[in-house]
Amino acid sequence: MKHLELHILQSVPVSCLNRDDLNSPKTAIFGGVQRARVSSQSWKRAIRELAKEMEPSLFKGERTKLIHKPLLDALLALELTASEADEGAKKIADALAKLDAKSTEKVKVTTLFFMSPLEIQMLAKAYAETKDVKKTLKAIDAKSLKDAADIALFGRMVASDHSLTVEGAAMFSHALSVHKVDNEIDFFSAVDDLQDKSEAGAGMTGTLEFNSATYYRFAALNLDMLADGHHLAVLTKEERQSVVRTFVEATIKGVPGARKYTMNGSTLPIHVLGVVREKGHPVQLVNAFEAPMRSTNGYASKSVELLQAEYAKLKETWGLQAVFECAIPEVGLEKFLDGILAHVD
């Protein structure tokens, strides 16, 4: 399997990038101690949003329960009557993800569904021609991903019709801190601007949890899969290279937006190692930090040393071979991207 690996080290200050059900920063035990954690789902959303902003013509996928409305609009554009279009949109939505009978204000399906504008147009056209939902669903194939590189990259699971399932070509781990982390509590108070000056006390008080950490992040991309007939073979080589360029840059730069106005965690990585292999499967370097780092002088430079040492050890021990190895900041972003794209077919 020809694939790309991205090994990223990134220090983030006071923040709460990803919360659990108790509104606390997510954590995990690794190497016997608690680490700060950001779920892959959380970081993937930040990457998807940035990729859509960077290359909107190729990243048009939308994940939503509100698929009835765009289907309805597409059917109306084909000159079906309002009642015919509404009936058709409901039938298609129900076949894709099952209508939510509990929804009263808007027509929704029960699960989030990942779709692109081209897929919606193809479904609407097929239904308008046949009025047969089973035949309509067959209108979706790999050609419909031409404007939805995000679906090809991140995948789509369709329980009701496995033929519509798309295996994601990209793989992610949960980001973990390279050191032990204890969540901290921020006590805050706010002043009531119109409160009488004779009155003492704050207008509101409360607490928020936060942490700060240096994270190891890992992402990989199956380059063979991305170019196959179930994914983006429909694109030209140059378009696929544009997809990979956007994906890599968005993965490097994207940061979850939680509490971005009060605890802005938007930083750039301190180190990015890019590796392209012709064979095998992606290999994480997280075990460089299985023994938690301890430092009173920061983690950045030492974490880079440990990452490099782990990679060298794995290459010597297991015979890992690469056709491309490059790191930021040893080279700039553009040279890094150009080196990767030379291996994208």
- The kind and range of the H/E element at 89 are helix 82-97
Q: How much is the pLDDT for 128?
A: 96
Percent of the chain with pLDDT over 70: 100
Average pLDDT, the chain: 95
pLDDT tens, position by position, 131-141: 999 999 999 98
pLDDT tens, position by position, 233-274: 999 999 999 999 999 999 999 999 888 888 888 999 999 999
Residue 126: pLDDT band (50, 70, 90) is: very high
Residue 210 has pLDDT above 90, yes or no: yes
- Find residue 10's DSSP bridge partners: 215
Per-residue DSSP letter, 291: S
Residue 11: pLDDT band (50, 70, 90) is: very high
Q: Which two tokens stand for residue 23?
A: 């509104």
Q: How much is the pLDDT for 291?
A: 98
Q: How much is the pLDDT for 260?
A: 87
Q: How much is the pLDDT for 206?
A: 87
The CA distance from 67 to 164, in Å, is 15
The CA distance from 129 to 11, in Å, is 55
In 205-299, alpha helices (H): 223-226, 237-253
Residue 160: pLDDT band (50, 70, 90) is: confident
Residue 228: pLDDT band (50, 70, 90) is: very high
**DSSP string spanning 153-193?**
HH-B--TT-GGG-B--SEEE--EEESB----EEEEEEE--T
State the Cα angle at 274 between 269 and 276, rounded to 5°.
160
Residue 212 has pLDDT above 90, yes or no: yes
Q: How much is the pLDDT for 201?
A: 79
Residue 13 has pLDDT above 90, yes or no: yes
Going 273 to 335 to 227 to 172, the CA torsion angle's sign is: positive
The CA distance from 117 to 135, in Å, is 19
pLDDT tens, position by position, 17-75: 999 988 899 999 999 999 999 999 999 999 999 999 999 999 999 999 999 999 999 99
Give the domain ranges of the chain.
3-57+179-184+208-341, 63-146
Give me the residue label for tokens 């030492």. Answer: 302
pLDDT tens, position by position, 284-333: 999 999 999 998 899 999 999 999 999 999 999 999 999 999 999 999 99
For range 273-284, the mean pLDDT: 97
- Find residue 189's DSSP bridge partners: 205
Task: Give residue 121's identity as a one-letter amino acid code.
Answer: Q
Closest Cα partner for 78 from 20, 128, 37? 128
